[in-house]
Copies of this chain bind each other. A is one copy, B any other.
Amino acid sequence: MYPSSIRQSKMLERLRLQQFCNITELAEVFSVSDETVRRDVRQLAEMHLVRKVHGGVATLHETMESPFQKRMAEQREEKQQIAEICSELIPDGTTLMLDSGTTTSYVARSLAKHKDLTVITNSTDIAGILLPPSGNHVYMPGGEVRQDDGAIFGQSAVEYIRQFNVDWAIISVGGIDNQLNLTDYYPLESELSRAVIEQAQEVIVVADRSKFGRVGLAKICKMEVIDILITNPPIPSEISRELHSMDVRLITQSSQVG
């Protein structure tokens, strides 16, 4: 797609040098009214050549939030609630693994009040949250740090994880299909999650309700393998029954008063 007029091309050219310009200035430069500039800008924005902001135009690619940050914002309330419930289950002084994910990142934030934890995680975000002077020990695998979410994957990460045995595993999932299989969107992620699950006594899955019915490319494992599923209500009673028959404890509400 190309700009439909000479003026629009000149606007683009101008924006390549400055990364922002307000409407009035452009109107003066091209000696047309503000309205006309707005109409041009609207078209350019529809063609995804510029970003329209209140007060003017900006180039693309300047302030885009990463997909991870977007996902952190989605279902924030629900995730925070789930995280809070999860952290109440975890006693001080225990050992645990957390895989990378938006929900587990919220769990880490809830766990920040805990003391003397030994934490193994592949997420630099989680490591950063649980590190500060809390008496915690934090262990991480090495490798390339994924730009999107600051997580580390791959064979060596999986091998690193396997060195440890912990009391708790807390994992997030990309989706839970109708047969209650746990899935992720990338094989790298599911592989790592599986490793985490195998090294722990007690396995907790944190997943907000929107995950039900979604199916990711990469299968992690069957629901049977899990000990506790934390999610938010309401949960259809047939799912609830099925979970019970699989010996999976379903938690949707804090046991705390208040």
Q: Does A32 contact B (CB under 8 A)?
A: no
* B interface footprint on A47-62 (CB within 8 Å = 1, 0 otherwise): 1110001111010111
Find A145's partner among B48, B72, B139, B147 (CB 8 Å cutoff): B139
Chain B, residue nearest A105 (CB): B48
The answer for the CA separation of A162 and B63 in the assembled complex, in Å, is 29
**Neighbouring B residues of A20 by C-beta, 8 Å:** 2, 6
Q: Does A207 contact B (CB under 8 A)?
A: no
* B interface footprint on A100-124 (CB within 8 Å = 1, 0 otherwise): 0000000000000000000000001
The answer for the CA separation of A238 and B139 in the assembled complex, in Å, is 46
Q: Does A224 contact B (CB under 8 A)?
A: no
The answer for the CA separation of A25 and B210 in the assembled complex, in Å, is 42
Find A58's partner among B6, B53, B55, B72 (CB 8 Å cutoff): B6
A133 touches B66 (CB 8 A): yes
Q: Does A28 contact B (CB under 8 A)?
A: no
A150 touches B131 (CB 8 A): yes
Chain B, residue nearest A102 (CB): B48
User: Distance (Å) between the CB of A109 and the closest chain B CB?
Assistant: 10
A contact residues, total (Cβ < 8 Å): 53
B63 touches A12 (CB 8 A): yes
Q: Does A3 contact B (CB under 8 A)?
A: yes
**Neighbouring B residues of A128 by C-beta, 8 Å:** 60-61, 63, 124-125, 128, 150
Q: Does A253 contact B (CB under 8 A)?
A: no
Q: Does A212 contact B (CB under 8 A)?
A: no
Identify which of residues 45-86 in chain A touch chain B, using a CB-to-CB cut-off of 8 Å. 46-49, 53-56, 58, 60-66, 69, 72-73
B160 touches A63 (CB 8 A): no
User: Distance (Å) between the CB of A79 and the closest chain B CB?
Assistant: 12
Q: Does A255 contact B (CB under 8 A)?
A: no
- Pairs A–B under 8 Å by Cβ, sample size 30: A2-B55, A3-B53, A3-B54, A3-B56, A4-B53, A5-B54, A9-B62, A47-B72, A47-B73, A48-B69, A63-B128, A63-B129, A63-B132, A64-B131, A64-B132, A66-B132, A124-B128, A124-B131, A125-B128, A132-B147, A138-B144, A138-B145, A138-B147, A139-B142, A139-B145, A140-B140, A140-B145, A142-B152, A142-B156, A142-B160
Top 9 closest A-B pairs, CB basis? A3-B55, A142-B142, A9-B63, A141-B142, A138-B145, A5-B53, A3-B53, A3-B54, A63-B132
